[in-house]
């Protein structure tokens, strides 16, 4: 537990897939922790770097000019070896060796689960901050990086629609999201897509075919469809249906990792600053082992144990709107 009468050391790392907003978070962590009398440290290359003890102090010169940069200057990694309790023991010892009192982690569900194990087995004080374009952290309406990712996708979809309308073609676009269809649903609704396939909404490919056939007969000359990567083989299947049954030329576009990059939007920069500020304030107040989540438009601290290994539910109103595009 942090005693705010003495200078204590706190560390931050980025875990799992990178996302825009991580750098603003690292900047705010460094500057705000310093202003509150703490010693900020950075852990390079995520949980793998923690295991190796790749831990260095953070100062103003380290974070100068990074607020507009995508990705993370600390680096990140996927480190499945952290599932091993012996690996976690070594990680905890690295924190003790550097006299670090609390660990702040930017990541998603898998990272939060690793944190809870570290807390339970090794007594480490941990803080989880949702940072994943998948937006799949239970209990949080929003995660860092989501807004930037949606804007990157929007730009790509607007450009694809230009070509689709010019050539009277169909385009099937696959978005990321792992097991969650949030990116695909928001993209489909805000880009004016005609079809959306996500794992959370049961779809009827025959109904989609019949609906699109009727729209084409009534003057539709092109169309766009959004498919979440969580629908295994969905993009290829839909492309084949459009070409073979509707007789419309169709192209498949997999957006891939472009969705993780880009300069953080104003929303993601502000979210980063707000969640870090709350995390540091709560640590100074004596709270341990919590997450800072977006609820009802505000960032609030929640006990970490209450959210790990639980599955997020996409808001019913979004699912209802997406249903029309899946049938």
Strand partners of residue 170: 223, 250
| Cα distance between residue 16 and residue 109, in whole Å | 10
User: How do residues 144-193 score in pLDDT, each as one tens digit?
Assistant: 999 999 999 999 999 999 999 999 999 999 999 999 999 999 999 999 99
Catalytic residue among 62, 84, 101, 134: 134
- Longest alpha-carbon distance in the chain: 74
Q: Kindly report the CA angle at 323 between 141 and 321, in degrees rounded to 5?
A: 50
The pTM for the full model equals 0.94
User: How do residues 236-269 score in pLDDT, each as one tens digit?
Assistant: 999 999 999 999 999 999 999 999 999 999 999 9
Q: Do domains 9-145+264-306 and 147-260 have the same CATH topology?
A: yes
Catalytic residue flag (residue 134):
yes
Q: Which CATH superfamily is domain 147-260 in?
A: Phosphofructokinase domain (3.40.50.460)
Indicate whether 3 pLDDT > 50. Answer: no
User: How do residues 216-231 score in pLDDT, each as one tens digit?
Assistant: 999 999 999 999 999 9
Within the chain, strands assigned E span 9-14, 39-43, 55-57, 100-107, 125-130, 170-175, 195-197, 223-228, 250-254, 290-295, 298-303
Task: Tell me the average pLDDT across 312-324.
Answer: 94
Domain boundaries, the chain: 9-145+264-306, 147-260
| Cα distance between residue 104 and residue 83, in whole Å | 19
* 39-43 vs 55-57, strand pairing mode: antiparallel
CATH tag for 9-145+264-306 (out of 1.20.1260.10, 3.40.120.10, 3.40.30.10, 3.40.50.450): 3.40.50.450
Instruction: Return the closest-CA partner of residue 16 out of 99, 124, 136.
Output: 136
């Amino acid at each position: 537990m942090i005693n705010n009468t003495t200078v204590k050391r706190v560390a931050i790392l980025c875990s799992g897939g990178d996302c825009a907003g991580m750098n603003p978070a690292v900047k705010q962590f460094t500057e705000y922790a310093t202003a509150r009398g703490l010693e900020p440290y950075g852990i390079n290359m995520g949980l793998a770097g923690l295991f190796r003890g790749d831990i260095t102090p953070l100062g103003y010169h380290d974070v100068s000019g990074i607020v507009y940069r995508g990705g993370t200057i600390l680096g990140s990694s996927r480190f499945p070896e952290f599932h091993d309790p012996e690996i976690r023991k070594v990680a905890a010892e690295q924190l003790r060796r550097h006299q670090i009192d609390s660990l702040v982690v930017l990541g998603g569900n898998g990272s939060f689960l690793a944190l809870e194990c570290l807390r339970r087995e090794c007594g480490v004080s941990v803080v989880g901050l949702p940072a994943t374009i998948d937006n799949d952290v239970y209990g949080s309406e929003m995660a860092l990086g989501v807004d930037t990712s949606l804007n990157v996708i929007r730009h790509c979809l607007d450009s694809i629609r230009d070509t689709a309308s010019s050539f009277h073609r169909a385009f099937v676009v696959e978005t990321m999201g792992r097991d969650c269809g949030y990116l695909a649903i928001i993209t489909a609704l805000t880009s004016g897509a005609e079809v959306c396939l996500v794992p959370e909404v049961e779809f009827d490919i025959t109904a989609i075919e019949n609906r699109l056939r009727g729209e084409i007969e009534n003057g539709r000359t092109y169309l766009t469809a959004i498919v979440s990567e969580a629908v295994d083989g969905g993009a290829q299947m839909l492309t084949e249906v459009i070409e073979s049954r509707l007789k419309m030329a169709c192209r498949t576009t997999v957006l891939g990792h472009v969705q993780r990059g880009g300069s953080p939007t104003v929303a993601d920069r502000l979210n980063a600053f707000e969640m870090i500020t709350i995390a540091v304030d709560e640590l100074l107040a004596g709270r341990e082992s919590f997450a800072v989540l977006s609820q009802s438009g505000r960032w609030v601290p929640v006990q970490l144990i209450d959210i790990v290994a639980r599955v997020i539910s996409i808001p019913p109103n979004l699912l209802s709107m997406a249903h029309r595009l899946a049938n």
